[in-house]
Amino acid sequence: MARISQESIELIRNTADIVDVVSDYVQLQPSGKNFKGLCPFHSEKTPSFFVDKERGFFHCFGCGEKGNAITFVQKYKNTTFVEALKELADRYHIELDTGGDDTLVDHHKRSYDINETANSFYQINLTNLEKGKKAFEYIKGRGLDIHTIQYFEIGYAPDEPKALFSQMKENYEPVELIELGLLKKGENDYFDLFRNRLMFPIRNEFGKTVGFSGRIIENNPLEPKYVNSPQTKIFTKGKVLYNLDKALPFINREKRVVLFEGFLDVISAFSAGIKEGVCSMGTALTPEQAYLLKKHTDHAVLCYDGDSAGFEASSKAIPILEEAGLRVSVVLLPEKLDPDEFVKKHSKAAFVNWINELSMDPFEFEYHYLKSSFDLTKPSQVEELKLRIFNILLKSDSQMLMEIYIKKLSADLNISYDILQSDLHHFQLTKAIKTSQNKRKEKIINVVIQNRAVVAERRILCYFIKAKEYREVINNLIGGIFTKDRENLEILINAEEFIKGGITENLKEKVIGTFVESKRASVAKRLNDHGEPYSIDDLLQLIMTYKIHEVELEIEEVNHQLAALGEFAKKEETTPLFNKKVELTKKIREIRKENLWKKTKS
């Protein structure tokens, strides 16, 4: 295996400007001497991702991800250390020293090669007059010509137990094929995972084939409609979008992306002229997919099926896309049609026109969606619809929007405008009083919890610096990086540098000395133990307080999610959150009962 010299690694680490690198993927804003932005590794509204240009590292105080420019590229692109080095070396025109061997090892390259070989096998079989006849007739029956089939590299997995394995076993080990989800192991032999299915290759945004999705070509209630590759080292279903690699030039040209429900919708839309289409793989849109789109555009158009399931999927996708910073439009296809059916029933030109001219904003969609969900002949349902619409209206600051939709609601429900205005005012007042009471109560609880946690964390920091035996307990029970407070983190990192160098005598004074003069008094105050005695029992109590606080923060986040859903949230939306809250409360009880002393000895 070729190795890159330590000198090359150090040169890249010292040359790479971390702000320059991160700015390609995250919108950074100055924050004192550092920079901050929304973390690319988890979903958040308030920036907790900080980049320290001077020290050359990043740290997210929300999810805990941290590292330098090399590790950022590695984590962001889900690539290897060597690939990240290669990319940065190219960027900064650095020649890598590989000890005379110019072949850099790409740990994922073999995986990509295996998938490409499998992809070629599937494509050949689709056009095989004997094996692929049924599949080819099916796909042509969906209106796809040979050029479209080849463009999207659609293939066919033969209805044989070992078709792929027989083709690939000479060049690849069975364990490699199993790891990539192409093969499964029986009692005494190996078998193909995909059989008698139309095959769609799934590529990442860089065009690398990371997995597959296989669709049945004959209706069989005992078989799932789609079978996807399992999660592998190069494929996570919720982090990739079908066709993104091919759609990117068109997304850049049209300044938008169009989200569809399925692969064939994307392909039919492409044939009709909407070439900037993508879709997820049979699952709800994830925050990771939304942030992936945000890298390439500011505008997302949702074009899901026109049935109730499509309505529901759009309603769930809107807040995810908006949270990622995307402007959202929604297209509702008529007559409960999907894109493929619409094109066949009307025309390609009509479909393109519908997408371009008849999209609506999220509020208009929500109104339309809610109105179609209630039986307006029943007074109780009319009342519930009215309150649901009020709840949405109050999320907007626009008086004009309120005026428009109160008039619209008045006409749709046949209720006078004045009565609706009066009801809205009363609803607004009641909601404000309830919110104020809840916030006051929550604020008191949070202050108590926060104060207790701050004291515990600072004392644990003092213990960490005090002696090796305490550090071992802390590392064993809560890990080395146990703080999200920025100044505490800097103290901890500086302390660890001394410890790694074998310098532990007068550690507190040495750590304080690493800070600029103006900050030393503040750091000294944080590390002041006020003469309090040190003991393992006290440390364990502090660690218990710390661990409970971490869970309390999770409960607080669940409460925020429940509050955001509002009082009219559906049971299927709130039940998982209530269940999570119960589990977290149970976790706190378990922490109080657990024997931390015993764990220090394990």
Domains of the chain: 6-91 (3.90.580.10), 109-235 (3.90.980.10), 244-368 (3.40.1360.10), 442-601 (no CATH)
The pLDDT value given to residue 444: 43
User: Per-residue pLDDT tens for 401-425?
Assistant: 788 888 888 888 888 888 888 888 7
Single-letter residue type at 168: M
7-21, 142-156, 158-172, 385-399: segment of lowest average pLDDT: 385-399
The pLDDT value given to residue 432: 64
- 488 pLDDT more than 80: no
- 107 pLDDT more than 70: no
The pLDDT value given to residue 448: 45
- 310 pLDDT more than 90: no
Mean pLDDT of 52-81: 86
pLDDT tier at 449 (50, 70, 90 boundaries)? very low
Integer-rounded Cα radius of gyration of the chain: 29
* SS3 call for 489: helix
* SS3 call for 203: strand
Burial class (CB in 10 A: 0-12, 13-18, 19+), 57: middle
Supply the pTM of this predicted model: 0.59
Torsion of CA 588, 590, 591, 595, to 10 degrees: 170
- 102 pLDDT more than 50: no
Which has the higher per-residue pLDDT, 128 or 154? Answer: 154
User: Per-residue pLDDT tens for 271-284?
Assistant: 999 999 999 987 78
* SS3 call for 541: helix
CA–CA separation, 424 and 387 (whole Å)? 8
DSSP readout, 373-437?
HS-TTSHHHHHHHHHHHHHHHTT---HHHHHHHHHHHHHHHT--HHHHHHHHHHHHHHHHHHHHH
Tell me the β-bridge partners of 200: 213
Mean pLDDT of 32-50: 86
In 3D space, the residue among 309, 330, 308, 306 whose CA is nearest the CA of residue 318 turns out to be 330
Sheet with 66-67, edge to edge strand ranges: 29-31, 34-37, 49-52, 57-60, 66-67
- Range with top average pLDDT, 5-14, 48-57, 501-510, 559-568: 48-57
CA–CA separation, 330 and 93 (whole Å)? 45
Cβ atoms of residues 201 and 121 within 8 Å:
no
CA–CA separation, 105 and 89 (whole Å)? 15
Q: If you average pLDDT over every residue of the chain, what do you get?
A: 84
Beta strands in 221-304 (DSSP E): 226-228, 257-260, 277-279, 299-302
Burial class (CB in 10 A: 0-12, 13-18, 19+), 30: exposed
Which has the higher per-residue pLDDT, 195 or 492? Answer: 195
- 121 pLDDT more than 70: yes
Residue carrying structure tokens 């094996």: 131
Which has the higher per-residue pLDDT, 579 or 500? Answer: 579
Cβ atoms of residues 531 and 567 within 8 Å:
no
| Half-sphere exposure in the Cβ direction for 128 (13 Å, CA) | 15
User: Per-residue pLDDT tens for 177-197?
Assistant: 999 999 998 888 899 999 999
The pLDDT value given to residue 34: 87
* SS3 call for 457: helix
Sheet with 327-330, edge to edge strand ranges: 277-279, 257-260, 299-302, 327-330
User: Per-residue pLDDT tens for 207-259?
Assistant: 889 999 999 998 888 889 999 999 998 899 998 999 999 998 899 889 999 99
The pLDDT value given to residue 334: 87
Q: Report the percent of the chain where pLDDT is more than 90.
A: 31
Cβ atoms of residues 352 and 359 within 8 Å:
no
Cβ atoms of residues 228 and 282 within 8 Å:
yes
Please enumerate, as own/partner, the contacts of 420-424 that have beta carbons within 8 Å and a separation of 24 or more: 420/386, 423/386, 423/390, 424/390, 424/393
Q: 263 CB contacts (<8 Å, ≥6 apart)? A: 200, 213, 215, 242, 243, 279
- 481 pLDDT more than 70: no
The pLDDT value given to residue 105: 43
Q: Report the percent of the chain where pLDDT is more than 70.
A: 90
The pLDDT value given to residue 585: 87
Mean pLDDT of 455-483: 77
Tell me the β-bridge partners of 52: 57
If one counts every other C-beta atom within 10 angstroms of the C-beta of residue 402, the result is 17
pLDDT tier at 129 (50, 70, 90 boundaries)? confident
CA–CA separation, 457 and 451 (whole Å)? 10
CA–CA separation, 602 and 593 (whole Å)? 17
If one counts every other C-beta atom within 10 angstroms of the C-beta of residue 458, the result is 20
Cβ atoms of residues 182 and 210 within 8 Å:
no
